[in-house]
Structures are given as structure tokens and as C-alpha cells.
Chain A
Amino acid sequence: MSAKSFRFISTDRRVREDRRFVAGKGRFAGDIVLPGTRHVALITSPYPAARILAIHKADALAVTGVHYVLDGRELAGATQPLLAGLDTPKVPRRPLAVDVARYAGEWVAAVVADTRALAEDAAEQVAVDYEPLAFVLDGEEAFAPASPPVHAEHGSNVLLDRTFTWGEVERDFSESSHWLSLRLKWGRSSTVPVETFAVLASWDPWREILDVFASVQMPRFPDQIALALKLPGSGVRVHNDVDVGGSYGVKRGIKHAVLAGYLSRRLGFPVRLIEDRLENMRGGDGHGPERNFDVEAAFDERGVIHSLKLRALDNVGAYAGRSPFQLGKPIGAIVGPYRINSVQYRAIAVTSNKTVQEAVRAFGQAPTNFALERTIEEVARHLNLDRLEVRRRNLIRAEQFPYLIPSGTTYDSGDYHAVIDKVLARADYAELIAERDRLRSVGLLAGIGMAACLEPSGANSTFEPLLNPNNETTTYADSCRINVDVSGAVTATIHTLSAGQGHETLVGCVIGEVLEIDPDCIRVVRPDTLASLPSQSPVGSRMAIMLGGAAFHCAQKLRQRLLAIAAHDLGIAPEQARYENGNVSDANVPQHRRTWTDLVTLAHRHFHRLPAGTEPGLAFTHVMQVPTGGKLPTPDGRVQMYPCFAFEFHLVLMTIDPDLGKPAFVRYFVGHDCGTVINPKIVRGMTMGGIAHGIGAALYEEFAYNPDGQLLAQTFMDYLLPSAHEIPPVEIIHHVTPSPHTVFGQKGSGESGYLGAPAAVASAVNDALAPIGLVANSLPIKIAQLGDMIAKARNS
């Protein structure tokens, strides 16, 4: 689709959701209370692995205002295990530990009381007898055959170990003049939203329905609750008109919802569970990837990479959720923005006695991008070539799109060289180098970092059939419904929750564009899930493409109907009817027209004047399939993963205080091409937020454990979220290469910034450390580590 001018799309419009938030009138899950609501507090395991011998409830139950103490056995007896992504039936996951606790902080029992404070008091009265068991924390150790299995019945800690070979890897290695290998580590962190997970569940025994209000971003959420609670799908009603206080992938909350739902059914009153920060960070099952990469690269003397061997081992924690799929998504961009002829990829997911991993922004792609970018820089270093030049030699060129990568995905569009050139021009790259050298000359460690990364977008769930042969999912639909009422007002629907992505603004803007009416006049609402059409929730940078696409096609159906009604009523051929600003006229006799009001009245009231076979009213739905989707993987594991690929190029100048190890940003530039931008304010915000999150993951944030298996980062004084002091001003340089697969040429941007910031920071730190002979191959690179590394290098 060529670039074209739009009426509302790409214009600097306000975000309609903002008005309620600035007034404190958002409606978050924790704001919702039903009459008679009781509250949950949790008893957690102090051991990383222990047999639960006895749970003593009597003292807690004796406290006035305490209603119930639930243990894992009772819950397991009445419910099904939670859905896992892979076929791992011997690794059952449940809201409360059953007989064995498998990580420190795992929920063992739940107390229900009149208030949260009372429930916490009573939780302290619950004594649990444990017998500590052997445990394993490190992923490589867990992978070793002799390690204690976290799930004895499963027999080992290996959930997934599959090697893909795409292309002539061994031949490309043997024919390459150079090769290198390196080991990289991506540390355990997460998105850690400021709002913890919250859920209110209320069972109505007379209507036999479970109402759920939750702070959630989860595909198939109501379906999973129903399966676990053995209810029909229509027995769970999740309310989508709840604002989610940040998620970035992690607010999955299925165990919380099943726990609260069970308690409400069991006890006959509404039950609310709001994690406190400790419950959230330790037992909320929301940690991100913890991944080791072993990379081998084969390349020539010009630095052109011919083949890669990647081994990625991910420590997913104590249970198997959806997280092993985070090794699958990067297959769709396994060579990043580079032309690499062949790839071998070994994906390993292991259990350990750590908190469970869940989906985190970019679903495994950011660690993979870090590995690719470190590899490129090592190739340059190995050959003593310029890092930027090596990137340029390997980048896919604009004229090569659509571009098929070895693992079976075709990239839609891009002009990577142009984006990089724009960034270098804006940054005055020569001057940036001169500034780095000036900083070095006054005694600072200074480095320029760069990263060229892709953002796969328009989430499909093709990694499901790719990694689980029993799963044949080939669609990941999203939907929109539009109703024009008898007054002529337009109301559209969204069928999922939002966590700040501005979906109401998106839908209004898209429909306004198609109908040529003011988007602010379009009401956008969120029916509950029983009144909803299919939606997979806003995962994988998909909503601009999928919800925007569904709204577009739905509005087109409405527009076509208005044209048909008007043509019939005007007595002209349909192709002679012209739509403009909601009115339809005869192209040959423009004064012959039907206004919006005329057409609405015809549709709603004057059936006798409608074309034969036309339904009365103006109600339309569209359920959209993912562009390019619909196919199962080939036996050798090739598949089109996502449809659209946004590009970002980060260029940063950093300093590191040689005495303190303290990093600081001097300049930060990012070139960003996500195709046609629908709302510039939203896209900018996402990119800036993604960069901030990436800086956190690279420099500050880590869920570290001590050798006893205790999580060390239990508060925000230990888990350091970047404040306004840590995040530099960022100059964003836009470029637009429209996607051919989407209605306006848009690509996704919900994970932008985070895809490349960690790699760029690592690049800058390594450039800064290079003069003293140090290499950093692990993220995060925290101040204390940097200080120690530098001191050691200087002393030796």
C-alpha cells in the first residue's frame, strides 16, 4: 500500500482514554467492590522445594471475621490443572501447591476474611509443617540429567528440547573463512506493572454464572477459568470494561482467577484477591525469560555472516505455563534484520525451583535481539572492522522485500539502511564519536551503543503448533462490531481489556476514517465476554493491525450498506452512488442525495424502501484472521510466524563513572519504522516506555536469588524500576515503510523500544569498556558489577 494522506489516521489526535485517568476516574479492578465482598491473603512456602506435611488451620479459623482456609488438596480435588502451552501432563500447575511446594513464595494456602487486614492477620496463624527437599536454581544445572527434577513424575526438568535446522548450516560453516562462538546471558527480570494483579470473582448460584473483574491481559482468559472450574464456557463472564494498570504482557492472572472463582463458589459470596507487592514479585508467576545463549557464527573476511548456530536455554521456573512459547516466537525473526543464509536453533526450556515465568513484552524476542546484536559486534571485533559497517553489509536491502528468512517467515517490508542513515544524520555521527572521545579524554569511560532490531507484530500464535504438535491452532482472530442506532449515533465494540494502549482511540479513529465522520462522535464500548466476539487480547503488538483491521473492515461493510440503500432509494446503479462525509449522492446529479439521517431512517424504519433481502437496522460485525496466517508449520519447522515487521535502530552515547561504575546517558536516538502510524502520541509513548523498560532490563532490574533459593528482590528497594532520573530524553526519528498486509500500512508498535534498548545499552557499555579490555556478555549489567569489573581491570 502506498503512502497516502488520511483525514484522521496519522494526525496528532488526543487519546480519549486519558480524560478519565487524569481525573482519577479510571476503573481499575481494585476499585470494584460488590456487596458482601470478602478478601484473600496467602500463605506461601518459605522453601524452594519442600513436601507439605500438614497445614494447621484451627488457629486462623478461630479469628473472628475469618471465613475459610483453603489448601491445595481441596482445590485440586475440585478443579482441573491450569492450561499449559506444551503437552506436559506430569507438570500440572495449580493455584495452590499440592503436597509439594516448588519455589520459595509459592502459594500454599489461602485465607478468606472480612477484610484484607484480617486475612493477613489470620494467615500468620496458619502453621505449615514442611520437609525440605533438594532443589535446583540454575538453568544449566537443571538441564543436567543428574539434577533433582522439580516435578518427580515428569522425570527430568526438560520441558522442551528441540533443534531446528533451516538451510545448509554445516556446509555454510565449512565454507566460511571465519567463525566465532560466545556465551551470553539474559537475566531474569519482568515488566512489573505499578498495579499488581487484582481479581474479584462473584458466583451467582441462581443464574449459575461466575462474574470476574480482573486486571488481565490474557488470551482465552474466560475459557481457561471455565476449564479449570469445570464450568461451561458460558458460565464465566469476564468484564472487559475494567482498566488495567499496566501489563506489558505479564498480567495473566489465571491462577488468581481460578482461586478466587473457586472460593466464591464454595463460600457463596464475592471474593477479592489483590496481590501485595511481595505476592506479586515472588508468587505472582510473572517473571520474564532467564536465558542463556550459546552462539556460533560463520562469516567471511568482510564480516558477512553466512550461518548461525544458536542454543537458547530458558529457565522457566517451577511450572509450565505459556512461557516455553517465548522460545518459539523469535523463530519468526531468528536472523533479525540480517541476511543470514542458514540457521540452526536449539530451543531448551527447563524447570527450576524459581518463580514461574510468564509472557513479558516482546515474548522472548528482546533477549534474542540482544544475542544477535552482540554477535554482530563480536564479528566486527574479531575482524577489526567497524560495527556499523558490518551491520550495513549484513542488513537486508530495501529492494529485497518481501524477504524470506531461513525459518520460513517472509518479512513484509522495510528500508533499514534508510532508517539508519536518517538516525546518523540526526545524531551527527561523526560529532557523536568526537564527543565520546572528548569524554574519554577527561577520564570517563564512554561508549557509543547501537542496535538494529525487529519488532514482529500482528501476533499469530503459530508458535503453538510449531512447538506442540497436538495443537493445530492456525488463527488468532480479533473482532469489531458496529451498530448505528435509530438516532444515527455510531457505537463500536472492543472485546478485550486494555492496559494503556489506547484501543478506544484506535477504534474511533479507524471507523471515523472509513466513514468520514468525526472519530470523537463514535462511542466505543466493551461488552462483557459473553456478549463479545472473538478476541485474543492485546498481545504481540497486534491491536493496530488486528483490532484496527477488524474495525476497518466492519466500517467498510457499513459504508457499503449505506451506498446500497442510497442507490436503491435514488433509483441509480450502485456504482453511480458516491459516499462523502456520511452522505450518499448520485455521482451524475450531486443534488440527488440521501443524508446520513435519511439513510439511518431508511435502514431502521422504512423497510419497504430497502433493497430486497436487506436486514433492517445498521448492525455489522467483522472477525478478522491474522494476515498471512492460517498455515501449519512444515515438518522441519518452517512457518510464517507474524505478518508485519517493524524496525528500530538505536544509537546512544553513554558514560560510566570509572570509580562508581555508575552509567549515564549523554544522548539517545532511535529511528523507528512501524509503517503508517495511526496515532502519533500513542506510538511515541509506547516507544519511549519500551526504551525505559529496556534500560531497566539492561542496567537495573533483576530477580536475583541467593544460593538458598530465596528471591532477593522482594521490594522496590531491591528491584529497581527506572525513575525519571534514569531515563534520558530520547530523540525519535520516524520513517514510514507501509506494510502491504494491513489496511493502512500500519505495523505494530506495542513492544517498540524494548526490542532494541537492552542490546543498544549492552553495545554502549561494551564500547565504553573496550579500552580497558573488558567485555560484558550478561544482562543486566548493574552498577555494582560494573564498578567491580572496572576496579579489577584497573588493579591487574
Chain B
Amino acid sequence: MRIDLSVNGELHALDVEPRTSLLDCLRERLLLTGAHAGCEHGVCGACTVLLDGTPVRSCLMFAVQADGYAITTIEGIAPGPGELSPLQDAFCETHGMQCGYCTPAMILAAHALLIRNAAPTREEIIEAISGNICRCTGYAQIVEAIALAAERMRGLNQPASQT
């Protein structure tokens, strides 16, 4: 089946089997391997990507269903090669990961949260990442990373005295 996938602002014309999941399509056809397979039944969240800004499980969606949406993967988050977004940098600052396998999905879930809520409470952060399983960290440093990023992003472009 022919589809046009808009991924990280770039349009890809693809011919895929109807049964191909969006996750497999991103990883195998577009070589965007930052989205990971964890359970392939929609629980662990490691395959999370953004569809028009909303986190979705790319393992539970067919690639053909994603035609017409703006897809954002982790590869679309960094501002440039070697350059981190404030959220990515905050994850590094708090060490909000260990093995790194759930990390891209965590960052996308948090990215979506911070776009709609610049000052999330701890409970709102927990809720936003509660669909993403991390087996390494116990979540504390992830929650701190998101809170730190929110704080830093709120401070952007503010006079130093007010930050």
C-alpha cells in the first residue's frame, strides 16, 4: 500500500504492507531506530512517538494509519547534530536513565507534556510518564529531569533577576 508519512517534518513516500506497524516502518524502512520495541502490545511505551504532538504507541498502530499525521520521533527533538534540547539536557543533568532503552519514549512523553503544560506538578509529571515503563531508574531522576527542564524552559528569555 502506498502511503506518505510525514516524519520530523520530512515527507516519505513508501510502499508498505497494510499489516506493518508504524514502529516497524519507522525502524526498518526509515532507519529511525530511536523508537524501541519493548512489549509490542501497548503496555511498556518504549515505542512512543508523537502524532500531531500527542504521544502514541507506534507498536499498536499500522503505518498506513499514520498517513496524514505529523509524526515526531526522538530523532526530531535535538535542535542539531550534537546539540541537545533543554529537555534532553535536563535528562543528562539528572541522569534520568541508565540503559537508555526507554529514554527516547520518556523524552517524547515529557516533551508533549511540557508543550501543553509549562509548569507541571509532580503528579502531572508522574501521570504523563505513567504509560512508560523504566526498569532501571525507579523513575526519580526522570521526574526530576522533567521538572528541571520545565523550570529552565520557563526561565528562557527572562531577565536574569527574574529567573
- Chain A residues in the interface with B (C-beta under 8 A): 14-15, 17-26, 28, 30-31, 117, 191-196, 243-248, 274, 276-277, 499-502, 681-682, 684-686, 688-693, 715-717, 721, 723-725, 727, 729-730, 753
Contact = CB atoms under 8 A, between A and B. Distances in A.
A717 B98 CA distance: 24
24 contacts: A17-B100, A23-B75, A24-B33, A24-B73, A26-B101, A117-B17, A117-B20, A193-B135, A276-B40, A277-B38, A277-B39, A500-B97, A500-B98, A688-B138, A688-B139, A692-B138, A715-B41, A716-B44, A721-B44, A724-B126, A724-B142, A725-B126, A727-B139, A727-B140
Interface in B99-154: 99-104, 107, 126, 129-143
B107 A22 contact: yes
B34 interface: yes
A499 B98 CA distance: 8
Contacts of B91: 18, 22
Given A22-B88, A24-B104, A194-B36, A502 B138 contact: no
Given A117-B19, A194-B44, A692-B137, A716 B97 contact: no
B29 to A, nearest CB: 12
A500 B77 CA distance: 22
Contact of B130 (A193, A682, A688, A723): A723
A18 B34 contact: no
Contact of A727 (B17, B92, B138): B138
A500 B141 CA distance: 14
A22 B44 contact: no
B41 A244 contact: no
A240 B143 CA distance: 31
A681 B95 contact: yes
Contacts of B44: 194, 716, 721
Contacts of B33: 24, 28, 30-31
B78 interface: yes
B107 to A, nearest CB: 6
A194 B34 contact: no
Contacts of A24: 32-35, 73-75, 77, 103-104
A25 B99 contact: no
A500 B99 contact: yes
A717 B44 CA distance: 10
A378 B122 CA distance: 38
Contacts of A753: 138
A681 B98 CA distance: 10
Contact of A246 (B88, B92, B135): B135
Contact of B92 (A14, A685, A725, A729): A14
A346 to B, nearest CB: 33
Nearest to B87: A22
A15 B74 contact: no
Please give me the 9 A-B residue pairs with the lowest Cβ-Cβ distance, nearest first: A24-B34, A21-B100, A245-B101, A500-B99, A500-B98, A24-B74, A692-B138, A688-B138, A716-B43
A500 B103 CA distance: 11
B39 to A, nearest CB: 5
B37 interface: yes
Contacts of B93: 14
B135 A717 contact: no
B30 interface: no
A721 B138 contact: no
A26 B97 CA distance: 12
Contacts of A195: 36, 38, 46, 99, 101
B141 A684 contact: yes
Contacts of B134: 194, 724
Chain B binding site: helix, strand, loop or mixed by DSSP?
loop
B42 to A, nearest CB: 9
A184 B102 CA distance: 35
Given A25-B34, A194-B133, A730-B138, A715 B43 contact: yes
A18 B43 contact: no
Nearest to A191: B135
B37 A499 contact: no
A337 to B, nearest CB: 23
B6 interface: no
A248 B32 CA distance: 27
Nearest to B102: A194
A8 to B, nearest CB: 16
A274 B27 CA distance: 14
A678 to B, nearest CB: 13
A18 B92 contact: yes
A725 B129 CA distance: 9
Contact of B135 (A682, A689, A725): A689
B95 to A, nearest CB: 4
A164 to B, nearest CB: 34
B54 interface: no
A194 B97 CA distance: 13
Contact of B99 (A245, A277, A681): A245
Contacts of B107: 22
Given A22-B107, A194-B135, A725-B130, A500 B140 contact: no
B41 A277 contact: yes
A699 B35 CA distance: 30
A720 B97 CA distance: 20
A621 B73 CA distance: 42
A24 B95 CA distance: 15
Contacts of A191: 135
Contacts of B126: 724-725
A196 B97 CA distance: 18
Contact of B95 (A14, A196, A723): A14
A30 B38 CA distance: 11
A245 B104 CA distance: 12
Contact of B136 (A243, A246, A277, A717): A246
A41 to B, nearest CB: 13
A686 B98 contact: yes
Given A500-B98, A681-B95, A717 B41 contact: yes
A191 B78 CA distance: 31
Contacts of B130: 723-725
A14 B88 CA distance: 13
A725 B131 CA distance: 10
Interface in B1-47: 17, 19-20, 27, 32-41, 43-44, 46
Interface string B32-67: 111111111101101000000000000000000000
Contact of A693 (B27, B36, B40, B135): B135
A644 to B, nearest CB: 21
A19 B36 contact: no
A717 to B, nearest CB: 6
Contacts of A248: 135
Nearest to A277: B39
A681 B141 contact: yes
B21 to A, nearest CB: 10
Contacts of A17: 100
- Chain A CB within 10 Å, residue with most, of B39, B77, B91: B39
